C-alpha cells in the first residue's frame, strides 16, 4: 500500500508558497532599508543578505516543499505525505474521522485553492491538514469522505 503513486498538489499551491515567502521578506526588507539609510555597514551587505533570503524563501524552499508533498486517497483512507527535512507520512482511515473542515485564507482564495482538515479523536494527529488542493477538489473530497462516514455509521 505504500507503493501507490502520490497525487501531486495543485500547481498554484507553489505560487501561494512563493508569495507567502515574499511576505515574510517584508520585515527583512524594511530592516535592510533602515541599515542602508543609516549606512552603519557597507551598503551592499543588506542587498546580498536579502537576495540570499529571497532565493531560499521564494525559490528554493517552495519548490522543495511542493515536490515533497502529496496525498493518496483510496476508498477508505487518506494518506498525506509532507516534509523536506522532516518527513511525515500520515494515514487517516475515514472510519475514524470525527469532523471535516475546508479552509481558505485570502491568498488561497485568490488562487482558488483550499486546505482540507481531517479531525480525529486521537491525542496525536488530532487534526491532519492537507493544503494546496484546488477548491472544487477539496469540496469533492470532503463530500466523498463525509458520504463514507455517513454510510458507515448508518
Q: Which residue from 81, 52, 50 is spatially nearest to 65, judged by alpha carbons?
A: 81
Instruction: Reduce the DSSP state of residue 70 to 3 states and report it.
Output: strand
Place of cell 480525529: 120
* Least distance (Å) between residue 83 CB and other proteins: 8
The Cα–Cα gap between 95 and 152 comes to 7
How many residues are there in the chain? Answer: 154
Q: Is the distance from CB of 37 to CB of 46 less than 8 angstroms?
A: no
* Least distance (Å) between residue 73 CB and other proteins: 13
Q: Residue 134 forms beta bridges with which residues? A: 113
* Least distance (Å) between residue 101 CB and other proteins: 16
* Least distance (Å) between residue 29 CB and other proteins: 30
* Least distance (Å) between residue 30 CB and other proteins: 33
Q: Is the distance from CB of 122 to CB of 108 less than 8 angstroms?
A: no
Q: Is 145 exposed, middle or buried (0-12, 13-18, 19+ CB in 10 A)?
A: buried
Binding site for other proteins (CB under 8 A): 1-2, 76-77, 83, 85-98, 120-126, 128, 149, 152-153
Amino acid at each position: 500500500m505504500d507503493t501507490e503513486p502520490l497525487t501531486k498538489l495543485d500547481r498554484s499551491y507553489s505560487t501561494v508558497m512563493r508569495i507567502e515567502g515574499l511576505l515574510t521578506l517584508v520585515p527583512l526588507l524594511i530592516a535592510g532599508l533602515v541599515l542602508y539609510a543609516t549606512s552603519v555597514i557597507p551598503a551592499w551587505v543588506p542587498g546580498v543578505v536579502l537576495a540570499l533570503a529571497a532565493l531560499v524563501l521564494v525559490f528554493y524552499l517552495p519548490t522543495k516543499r511542493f515536490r515533497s508533498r502529496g496525498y493518496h486517497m483510496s476508498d477508505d483512507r487518506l494518506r498525506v505525505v509532507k516534509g523536506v527535512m522532516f518527513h511525515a507520512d500520515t494515514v487517516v482511515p475515514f472510519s475514524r474521522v470525527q469532523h471535516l473542515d475546508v479552509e481558505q485564507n485570502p491568498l488561497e482564495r485568490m488562487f482558488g485553492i483550499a486546505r482540507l482538515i481531517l479531525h480525529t479523536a486521537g491525542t496525536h494527529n488530532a487534526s491532519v491538514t492537507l493544503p494546496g488542493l484546488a477548491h472544487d477538489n477539496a469540496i469533492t473530497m470532503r463530500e466523498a469522505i463525509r458520504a463514507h462516514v455517513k454510510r458507515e455509521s448508518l
